[in-house]
Structure 1
């Protein structure tokens, strides 16, 4: 059988020619910036992939999804209270201010941001289509569309329609269980499955949802009278992880459980009662939740229509700058190609070349810290 003589698809070279980029920028009128967490990482705001965060080992669907909220709103509120606090302590970096300056120079500039930390707004970029603090007010002149909401908006989880903007209280509504020290103390005392329990310093491949499913199955097999509910231990989690790793890539587990032993109990829930969490002042029966888009939720129709209007304008797009995003979350992951279809040349800013997946031969690729790179390439 003859071997194939076809050559592999060539990988585009990295084009980091700042002068040619600036020349194109100077002649561009309609500019789209697609912004991800890498922009704010330079300000100290942890990304979901940041392994230094104390929340890095938690399953994202347990702390940032409708299912996670339904099973344990206390754990979700702990996570988002920590994120709010982190964002409040952070300051806009040079890249945030460079984008604001670009917006002043280029009326046709629009930022499509997946970030929820409020740093672009604090740097001075005006929000497009914010519901506003006064009933009925809208602002369609702004150049920032917040695709995933923001940490400092609160909405009724029950859907009564209550919305509150710009709430920077810490803790939220004075809830003591959401204060910084209370969260640290509870995380040290209540080891929820999903936290790193010396299982090799990697996120366990087992979750609270798996153990709950096993318990439910055992309950059905044994019956109500014989079944005795108990939380899993570190040893239980490690055993399951050993099995899963052997079935997978046969990776080294790392350190043994060690001094903690295999019998330490792992909790499945935070143990926080709903009465201890922010209550909706509108309906007075449901909880408030962060005004962000969770995994498994759709971006609001209003935002989708706004974004479509920007991307589908008949006069085309001159330049698309993709900043600090791995382009894995839809619909934002498709914005670059839509801009390209409208005639845009594309520039990528990221720390990893692997995250510039759909780059082409005539794209610019600038590798490095977004806080520094964006400020440098956008400098007039």
Structure 2
């Protein structure tokens, strides 16, 4: 599989209409009056916000066809996925771990960024003080042309590589070539039996030529990347963050809850977009009579449902309306 990256704006499968010329969203036609009031209140506050942080999780990519890490029973070829995502597993059997991650890379490359990925990327292009902190490793935000200086990967990326040699500092990001070695092609064949690959057939460091490469993801037992954590902390500390968008993840579990709490302490507000909204996350419904300016008395908005549908609608006042380009397939990539 080879990928043309980055994608030019003309290749995007979505068109962004000018936000100065509002285009009614078809989704609004199905909303209750209370939900419309809730959305209008959020959008009024969005227009007044200068600094925004988005914290995103697996629910952002659900519409792209990617299951959560623990989805599908948490098994890969009868192996517990969580047990494969450790430094110890890689040390004991790098062939098995690399085939697991090669299969995940292939699945991520078959998937396409959805409207929410493009909406967040567009918001970043229009708002210099907007930052996305993603817990996803699937590379879809990058492939949606999200500005790299406004995108932090809290858990690393399937498409980052780093050398395991103690004496080598090689690291490469956005390596979308697949498979990484001819021997790893078998990992993309879901029905193929597991075959051990000798170390000579696994990815090796192009710098030191001796160390094995490993996926640049954060494994269980490893610390979050200090550079990413510091960059997020610096952004929050640089001034009041008016709004945090919690998308496809729970805002009540750490580390997400920590960022939400900090922004609330600054006086910022929270908007949660998720397929399931816990009762503790919701506030009272808006009445039909409430003005969109009622956001002054609001500290949180919740939007229950598919983030790929809700996020573009919610961000329309800034990014404009998104329409699917007929006959466009988005990125060009070939499976081999």
Instruction: State the shift of 1:16 in Å.
Output: 7.7
Instruction: State the shift of 1:340 in Å.
Output: 1.3
Change (3 A) 1:378 1:52: farther
**Whole-angstrom CA distance in 2 between matches of 1:36 and 1:325:** 5
Matched, 1:323 2:244: no
Matched, 1:379 2:316: yes
Matched, 1:302 2:227: yes
**118-127 or 343-352, larger mean C-alpha shift:** 118-127
1:343 to 263, 267, 281: 267
**Whole-angstrom CA distance in 1 between matches of 2:185 and 2:305:** 39
Equivalent residue, structure 2, for 1:169: 177
**Whole-angstrom CA distance in 2 between matches of 1:56 and 1:36:** 25
**Whole-angstrom CA distance in 2 between matches of 1:49 and 1:357:** 24
1:275 to 187, 190, 200: 200
1:101 to 97, 117, 122: 122
Structure 2 unmatched ranges of 5 or more: 1-34, 285-298, 318-336
Matched, 1:49 2:70: yes
- Superposed CA offset, 1:56-97 (max 9, x none): 964343211112212222221111111111111111111111
- Superposed CA offset, 1:282-338 (max 9, x none): 22322110111112111222222111101122x311111100013577534421111
2:124–2:147 contact (8 Å) kept in structure 1: no
SS in 2 for 1:185: coil
**Whole-angstrom CA distance in 2 between matches of 1:272 and 1:341:** 52
How many residues matched?
A: 269
Equivalent residue, structure 2, for 1:352: 276
Structure 1 unmatched ranges of 5 or more: 1-13, 129-142, 188-269
Equivalent residue, structure 1, for 2:112: 91
Change (3 A) 1:358 1:65: farther
Structure with the larger strand share: 2
**44-53 or 76-85, larger mean C-alpha shift:** 44-53
1:156–1:280 contact (8 Å) kept in structure 2: yes
1:16–1:365 contact (8 Å) kept in structure 2: no
What is the root-mean-square deviation of aligned Cα atoms in Å?
2.6
Matched, 1:64 2:71: no
Matched, 1:149 2:156: yes
2:301 to 335, 353, 364: 364
Matched, 1:185 2:192: yes
Instruction: State the shift of 1:155 in Å.
Output: 0.6
2:55 to 34, 38, 41: 34
**Whole-angstrom CA distance in 1 between matches of 2:280 and 2:96:** 34
1:15–1:366 contact (8 Å) kept in structure 2: no
1:317–1:344 contact (8 Å) kept in structure 2: yes
**Whole-angstrom CA distance in 2 between matches of 1:149 and 1:344:** 27
**Whole-angstrom CA distance in 1 between matches of 2:164 and 2:211:** 6
Alignment of 1:231-310 (within 5 A): 271-310=196-235
1:50–1:56 contact (8 Å) kept in structure 2: no
- Superposed CA offset, 1:335-367 (max 9, x none): 11111112111011111123x866667311111
The answer to which structure, 1 or 2, has the higher relative contact order (CA under 8 A, 6+ apart) is 2
SS in 2 for 1:310: helix
